[in-house]
């Protein structure tokens, strides 16, 4: 598996694990279920860990595709800028989540507040980064896709 395949495969894992963990965390808080909260914390940690190789394969993936036809360096740059912010946000969330797993009860309220803030920010930025990355090869996401319409004489008969 080359860096492009690895980057594409695992970035989806990082994003989806963060999204699912936000939902699980919210359910845990809503229903006061500690097991759901802890499960979400492990999910945030997992997302932070899997984001590291995703980030590290970004540059090699860029080098592989940057000279292909239809590749925009501006879109790649936008994706890179978003990724640099996202990696910091998800890593901070992962670290706070790790601390929350072992912290004393008296710190849980403050940690929960931080987790809510960073979970929203980190997950939102991961989604945005993924959308920016998708624009590199998917013209339908960029909004410049055009579908040619052809009408044949036989179409009028149906």
Name the pLDDT band for 94 (thresholds 50, 70, 90). very high
| DSSP letter assigned to residue 3 | H
Q: Which residues contact 103 (CB under 8 A, 6 or more apart)?
A: 111
Top pLDDT among 36 and 145 is at 36
pLDDT at 1: 82
pLDDT at 148: 46
Of the candidate ranges 64-68, 87-91, 117-121, the one whose mean pLDDT is the lowest: 64-68
Percent of the chain with pLDDT over 70: 91
pTM of the model: 0.87
Closest C-alpha among 100, 97, 98 to residue 123: 97
Per the prediction, the chain carries an average pLDDT of 91
Q: Which residues contact 108 (CB under 8 A, 6 or more apart)?
A: 100
Residue 147 has pLDDT above 50, yes or no: no
Residue position matching structure tokens 């995703």 = 54
Question: For residue range 34-83, what is the model confidence (pLDDT) as tens digits?
Answer: 999 999 999 999 999 999 999 999 999 999 999 999 899 999 999 999 99
pLDDT at 155: 52
């Amino acid at each position: 598996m080359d860096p492009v395949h690895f980057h594409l495969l695992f970035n989806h894992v990082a994003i989806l694990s963060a999204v699912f963990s936000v939902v699980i965390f919210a359910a845990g808080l809503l229903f006061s279920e500690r097991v759901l909260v802890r499960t979400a914390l492990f999910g945030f940690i997992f997302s932070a860990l899997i984001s590291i190789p995703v980030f590290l394969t970004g540059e090699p993936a860029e080098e592989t595709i940057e000279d292909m036809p239809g590749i925009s360096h501006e879109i790649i740059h936008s994706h890179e800028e978003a990724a640099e912010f996202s990696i910091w946000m998800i890593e901070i969330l992962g670290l706070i989540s790790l601390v929350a797993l072992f912290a004393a009860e008296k710190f849980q309220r403050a940690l929960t507040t931080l987790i809510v803030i960073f979970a929203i920010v980190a997950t939102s930025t991961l989604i945005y980064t993924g959308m920016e990355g998708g624009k590199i090869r998917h013209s339908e996401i960029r909004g410049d896709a055009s579908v040619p319409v052809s009408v044949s004489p036989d179409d009028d008969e149906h």
